[in-house]
Amino acid sequence: MRTQGWEVVDEKFDDFAESSETLNRPAMQRLLDEVVHQRIDRVIVTRLDRISRRLQDTCEFMEYLRSSNVAITIASQPEIGGDAQGRLLINLMASFAEFEQDMTRSRMEEARAALKHHGRRVAGRVAYGYWADPITKQLVPSAPECEHIKAFYEWAADGVLPSDIAARANERGWHKQQETASVTLWTARRIIELLNNRHYIGDIRYGDEWIPGQHQPLIDLELYSQARLRIASRRNERKSKVSVPQNRFLKGLILCPDCGRRLSVSSKSRQRKSGATILFSDYCCRSTAGGRPPCLGVRFTATLLEDDVVEAIKLLSESNAELAKHWNKLDLRKQRLLVPRIVESIAIEADKEVVIVKLKSDALDCLDT
């Protein structure tokens, strides 16, 4: 380069471990800044695909050079210049670079699909109790964590609650990872996710399905099924004890009178001396959108507010004959079902006693259907 009379700048613009699929790379952005401000006269690159493997990005880079009157030299093809023929060759080479990358990506996807189809793991998160072989990428049982997995499933099959399983594991120090020495406490949520993981019976995920894998299972299918049945039966028992809440048809429609965010539904149950369970529902401000805390004290009894909204729509229909024609012929159940289809928003004035209903522009069409 010095024989050409070029003065080499001290800084090198190398993007290590960065994808060449985009120009949004640290060193590339510094280089473009030098080009735009015309602090350099020539760019030297080892190969054209080091700029980018996308034709569009390569053309964009070349336009930066052209508009700033900066020349380019490709070390592997020094004969390519900045004339019309050189620009044509650069476009062809960039097209082939993008084509080659697309073909490589396609072949890799086909190879991954073939491996998964035959039950071989390709990549992804390694389940607790295994480690990934650095060469084959396959799951290998990790002691003593693999013994912990068996204990988790045995406890679950015996009816131990996930929260109690987590407490037992933490008491025994099983939250400490042997390889990384990191500490991650077990929680009921982590235990439930673990008990749902079919990796432990030798399966791997293939798309949306689970298929037999080639790694060693940590538990047998019988133990897995027993644990899952016990969890499912407990969930069904809990559902049978608490009444299913009535569908709150105003959810997402009511605006908080204090902050303007949409109210959500809060439900709680109370058990009478007779053993019957009563469910209470409210519309309240629980949103944290915009980084703001929920508004305190903004809570409306669901059944009362829903009745007020239905009555407000009836009042609106008194000044609209076409609306009244369709609305008044509906029974209360159908009216409540149609509210989400015809109402755009519901506002409550500051005194929290007046309900203002805004109908959608196509409300009448919804009622017709």
The per-residue pLDDT string of the chain (369 residues; one tens digit each, 9 = 90 and over) reads 556 667 888 788 888 777 667 788 888 888 888 888 888 888 888 888 888 878 888 888 888 888 888 888 888 877 777 777 777 887 788 787 788 777 877 887 777 677 666 667 776 788 888 988 888 888 899 888 989 999 999 999 999 999 899 999 988 888 655 444 455 788 888 899 899 999 999 888 776 778 888 889 999 999 999 999 888 887 655 554 444 445 788 888 888 888 888 888 888 877 766 666 777 888 888 777 666 778 888 888 888 888 888 888 888 888 888 888 888 888 888 888 888 888 888 888 756 567 888 888 888 887 776
d(CA 251, CA 180): 46
Rounded to two decimals, the pTM is 0.42
Instruction: Note the pLDDT of residue 138.
Output: 86
The answer to whether residues 283 and 300 touch, using CB atoms and an 8 Å cutoff, is: yes
* Domain 2-113 CATH superfamily: Resolvase, N-terminal catalytic domain (3.40.50.1390)
Q: Quick one: residue 142, left, alpha or beta (phi over 0 = left, psi -120 to 50 = alpha)?
A: beta
The edge-to-edge listing of strands for the beta sheet with 264-271 is 264-271, 277-284, 299-301
The SS3 call for residue 73 is strand
* Residue whose pair of structure tokens reads 């899952």 in the numeric block: 228
Note the residue count of the chain: 369
Adjacent-strand bridge partners of 345: 358
Residue ranges of the domains in the chain? 2-113, 130-241, 264-368
Adjacent-strand bridge partners of 68: none
* Residues whose CB is less than 8 angstroms from the CB of residue 231 and which lie 6 or more positions away in sequence, other chains included: 156, 162, 192, 195
Nearest partner of 364 among 313, 297, 304, 315, judged by Cα:
313
The SS3 call for residue 178 is coil
Terminal CA-CA length for the chain:
77
Q: Compute the C-alpha angle 198/201/205, nearest 5°.
A: 40
130-241: CATH number: 3.90.1750.20
Nearest partner of 139 among 79, 31, 214, judged by Cα:
214
Cβ of 152: how many Cβ atoms within 10 Å?
A: 27
Residue 150 to residues 145, 146, 156, 219, 227: CA-CA distances in angstroms? 9, 7, 10, 6, 11
The SS3 call for residue 168 is helix
| E-only strand ranges, the chain | 42-45, 71-74, 130-132, 139-141, 203-206, 209-212, 264-271, 277-284, 299-301, 343-348, 355-359
CA-based max dimension of the chain: 99
Adjacent-strand bridge partners of 151: none
Q: Which helix H or strand E contains 350, and what residues bound it?
A: none
Identity of residue 270: R
The answer to whether residues 163 and 155 touch, using CB atoms and an 8 Å cutoff, is: no
The answer to whether residues 37 and 45 touch, using CB atoms and an 8 Å cutoff, is: no
Q: Quick one: residue 198, left, alpha or beta (phi over 0 = left, psi -120 to 50 = alpha)?
A: alpha
Instruction: Note the pLDDT of residue 224.
Output: 92
d(CA 142, CA 129): 5
